[in-house]
Amino acid sequence: MPLPIAVLVSGNGSNLQSIIDRIEAGALDVEIKLVISNKADAYGLERARSHGIPTRVLLHTEYDSREAFDTDMVRAIRDSGVDESGVVVMAGFMRIVTHVFLGVFENRVINIHPALLPSFPGVYGQGDAADYGVKISGCTVHFVDEQMDHGPVIIQAAVPCLPGEGGGGLSPRILKMEHRVLPQALQWLVDGRLEIDGRFVRLKPADKAVSQQPLADIEPETYALIWPPLEEGF
């Protein structure tokens, strides 16, 4: 039985799409019961509808407090058929959630952030990294806690920052990696393979033999652990 999950979006929803695509490819063993957006015009809602996934719009501007907003999100998610054994994915959801939310879905909420945390948290991780002049940035999937872009790290992908490209050039290349690591992290969580110990997340071995994904299908300038490449002697 696929695990019931909810996905929270605020915008384009390409990370939501990456989850839908992996489900349809048979790689990801979840069923999206509900997509919630805090923006009525989020394109992510369209993506969900076109795949027959129920949607809700909850406008945070109509609430007096974060806690009140989170109470309604919890209710909507429960009503959709996702309980505390399910998972909630923040896929481009530009809100901090409170103890009201995290107390229900304890260690069951994950977020994708477009930078190598703890560097460049916040709403524009790609631009902040580019403006700082770092040579490598990337993306991080992490468990969510009450601080912004802060909880224990599950997986990170490093992406080179090319000369003069700025955040606008870097963003789409980071996004390509987001679409790979977010579904992977989700499946690990679904399979019960993630063990949290303080800030550390241990990936437990799979029950059955799994082969690793060759990275040969990713262009060298899109993905790098060390960039620029080290020269001879170093």
| Binding residue (CB under 6 A) for ligand GRF from 14, 38, 80, 184 | 14
Report, in Å, the least distance between residue 1 CB and ligand GRF.
Answer: 27
User: How far is the CA of 16 from the CAs of 8, 35, 144, 163, 177, in angstroms?
Assistant: 9, 9, 17, 30, 14
Taking the CB of residue 14, how many other CB atoms lie within 10 A of it?
18
142 is catalytic: no
User: How far is the CA of 121 from the CAs of 88, 117, 164, in angstroms?
Assistant: 20, 7, 22
| Binding residue (CB under 6 A) for ligand GRF from 7, 37, 167, 178 | 178
d(CA 225, CA 231): 14
Catalytic residue selected from 51, 60, 99, 113: 113
d(CA 157, CA 93): 20
Amino acid at 192: G
111 token code pair: 């977020």
Of residues 81 and 122, the one with the C-beta less far from ligand GRF: 122
* Contact yes or no for 3/30 (Cβ under 8 A): yes
Report, in Å, the least distance between residue 83 CB and ligand GRF.
Answer: 25
- Among candidates 26, 85, 77, 86, which has minimal Cα distance to 54? 77
Report, in Å, the least distance between residue 137 CB and ligand GRF.
Answer: 11
Of residues 12 and 187, the one with the C-beta less far from ligand GRF: 12
How many chain residues interact with ligand GRF (CB under 6 A)?
A: 14
Of residues 71 and 156, the one with the C-beta less far from ligand GRF: 156
d(CA 83, CA 160): 39
- The answer to the question of residue 15 lying near ligand GRF (CB under 6 A) is yes
| Binding residue (CB under 6 A) for ligand GRF from 91, 116, 141, 155 | 91
Q: Which stretch binds ligand GRF (CB under 6 A): 75-83, 106-114, 159-167, 205-213?
A: 106-114
- The answer to the question of residue 127 lying near ligand GRF (CB under 6 A) is no
Which spans of this chain sit near ligand GRF (rule: CB under 6 A)? Answer: 9, 11-15, 44, 91-92, 112-114, 175, 178
Write out the catalytic residue numbers: 113
